[in-house]
Every structure is written in C-alpha cells, then in structure tokens.
Chains A and B, each alone.
Chain A
Amino acid sequence: KAGVTQTPRYLIKTRGQQVTLSCSPISGHRSVSWYQQTPGQGLQFLFEYFSETQRNKGNFPGRFSGRQFSNSRSEMNVSTLELGDSALYLCASSPGTGHYEQYFGPGTRLTVT
C-alpha cells in the first residue's frame, strides 16, 4: 500500500496571506488528523476528520480550518498567516474505526516571512 502523502512539501508565504495544504491518506483509511510541529511547542493536535466530518478539534484559533472529501483526502487552510505559524504540518491517517494506529505523512514545511 502507498503511504500517506502530503503536498506541497515546502511553502514560503508572507504574513497576512493564506495557505492550503493537502493530505492523501493510506488507501482504505477514513480518518485524517493534522498536527503542527514546532521546536518550541512540539507536536500539537489541530483537528481530525472522519467521513467528511470534523470529529475532534484541538486548541488552535479559527484561522486554522480543514475539510475532508469523499475520497478521504483532506485539506487544511490557514488564513491571515502569522510569523508564529511557521512550522512542519503533519497529517496522519488511520482506519478510524476502533483501530488506533496513526501513520504520518512526510509533512509540509511552512515558512512565513
């Protein structure tokens, strides 16, 4: 099976802009979770989507949003970018139905200048 893929791998944006990141889960997995990884805050949960519905949400401002499509692919959007949004954004997929294992994609490195 192909692993989790994320696009793009690298992004450079300016403060105030918005950005959309994409994640394709492992075939057959219906849950996609998003995490932000920074040196200062570590790995923090953003939100999780299952069957096109947001099922869990972390403690991030409303500028961070996401969605999931019928093929389980997911996107996350960050509006009005701030310098502090610079991070590695990782998505993880899992079957989402009582199977807990989550498998991560390679991440998107976002730099906000």
Chain B
Amino acid sequence: GENVEQHPSTLSVQEGDSAVIKCTYSDSASNYFPWYKQELGKRPQLIIDIRSNVGEKKDQRIAVTLNKTAKHFSLHITETQPEDSAVYFCAASRSGNEKLTFGTGTRLTIIP
C-alpha cells in the first residue's frame, strides 16, 4: 500500500521568514496530494491541494510543488505569521479512491 513520509517533524521559523515541509510517497499511481492544517483541538482543515497533472499551485502565501519523477511534494509558506503555527499534514490518494494516506505531521511554530 501507499506510504507517505513527512519531514521535518518539528519546524520553528521567525515570523516573516519562509517555511518548507517535504513529503515523499511510494505509490506511483497516487495522483492527488492535499495538505491539511490542524490547530490545537481543532479539525484538520484543507489548505491547498495539487493533482499530478500540475507541477505547482499557489494560493496567496502558500504554494505546493510536485515532482512526480522523484515522488515528492512540498508545502511552502512565505511571510509566515503567528497564526500559521499549527500541525501540518500531507496526504496522498489515487484517482477515484477516497482513502487518504497521511504523513506523520509537522509541528510548525512561528516565533514572533
């Protein structure tokens, strides 16, 4: 089955700097890659996603890149703000399959 590895497990950055979280997946048939943000005591919230027919997608301060050949994808957050502090999860799934395989999460702390 699919296996998703996520690094780093914790990340601290100064407010205003950029943060990058990386994930690798094992199943070459995976073609949908969402990112979720989970604040303490809250539900995971979908923040951005990318499909395998696209190499990069941006939404304001966040962007995701996908390298199908290397089977890895990354989340980039620019101009970080205190409200970006949360746990971020990457995930992967196959076309027509609602099963999401999640990475182990990255705890991002923004230092004011």
Chain A residues with CB under 8 Å of chain B are 4, 31, 33, 35, 42-45, 48, 50, 55-56, 58, 90, 92, 94, 96, 98, 100-107
Contacts and interface: CB of A to CB of B under 8 A. Distances in A.
5 contacts: A33-B98, A42-B89, A45-B100, A96-B98, A104-B44
A109 to B, nearest CB: 10
Nearest to B49: A101
Contacts of B34: 100-102
Interface residues of B, number: 23
B40 to A, nearest CB: 12
B49 A43 contact: no
A48 B36 CA distance: 19
B74 interface: no
B32 to A, nearest CB: 5
Contacts of A94: 98
The 4 closest A-B pairs by CB, nearest first: A43-B102, A104-B43, A100-B32, A48-B98
Contacts of A104: 36, 43-46
Interface in B23-45: 32, 34, 36, 42-45
B46 A101 contact: yes
